[in-house]
Amino acid sequence: MKLETKSYEEKMKKSISIYEHDLQTIRAGRANPAVLDNITVDYYGTPSPIQNTANIAVPDARTITITPWEKKMLNEITKAIQASDLGINPTNDGKVIRLVFPQPTEERRKELTKQVMKKGEEAKVNIRNIRREANDKIKDMKKKSEITEDEQKISEKDVQDLTDKYIKEIDAITADKNKEIMEI
């Protein structure tokens, strides 16, 4: 009876999806509404995501339009975007807020790729922590004589194979994102 690796694989998949979501918030020169995910506005005394107070559209590759459901939210949303670390100055025509994404400079793109690499390393650390957790469980099972030494070796190999698979996936996702950032 070797260790059941399904729950650990689920944790690894979840780490990957969190990593992919984190990467969406990195601005790569293209308009992506996900960059607004972490920005909240004061909506009747409650901090709310912009998506819950307005329609968000991407009319072209470099522009996001935000149309608040209530006119009074225009200034609140504009202030929230200016206060964020988005690095884009919103323009407000009295009805719609426009975010125009400039083409990032070479220096900015290199900065962004470093950010992506750092997030990739963090995701790999999460995967390795899950591996360590699984290996600790295997050792514990062996100590309690729930599994034999052969089953321990097989379980540890299964966990290592899973780890290698998801580390490779993180590397591929990181490479794709960096390629997207470096495109002009």
* Rounded percentage of the chain residues whose pLDDT exceeds 70: 96
- pLDDT for residue 131: 94
Go through the domains of the chain in sequence order and give each one's CATH number.
Answer: 6-24+105-182 (1.10.132.20), 33-100 (3.30.1360.40)
133 band by pLDDT with thresholds 50, 70 and 90: very high
Is the pLDDT at 118 greater than 80, yes or no?
yes
In sequence order, what are the residues at sequence separation of 6 or more whose Cβ sits closer than 8 angstroms to the Cβ of residue 94?
74
| Residue 89, pLDDT score | 83
The arithmetic mean of pLDDT across residues 32-49, rounded, is 82
How many whole angstroms separate alpha carbon 158 and alpha carbon 160? Answer: 5
C-alpha 60/C-alpha 43 separation (Å) is: 28
Average pLDDT, the chain: 86
The confidence band for 72, taking pLDDT boundaries of 50, 70 and 90, is confident
57, pLDDT greater than 80: yes
- Find the helix or strand (DSSP H, E) in which 153 lies: helix 149-182
Task: Look at residue 173 in the predicted model and tell me its pLDDT.
Answer: 93
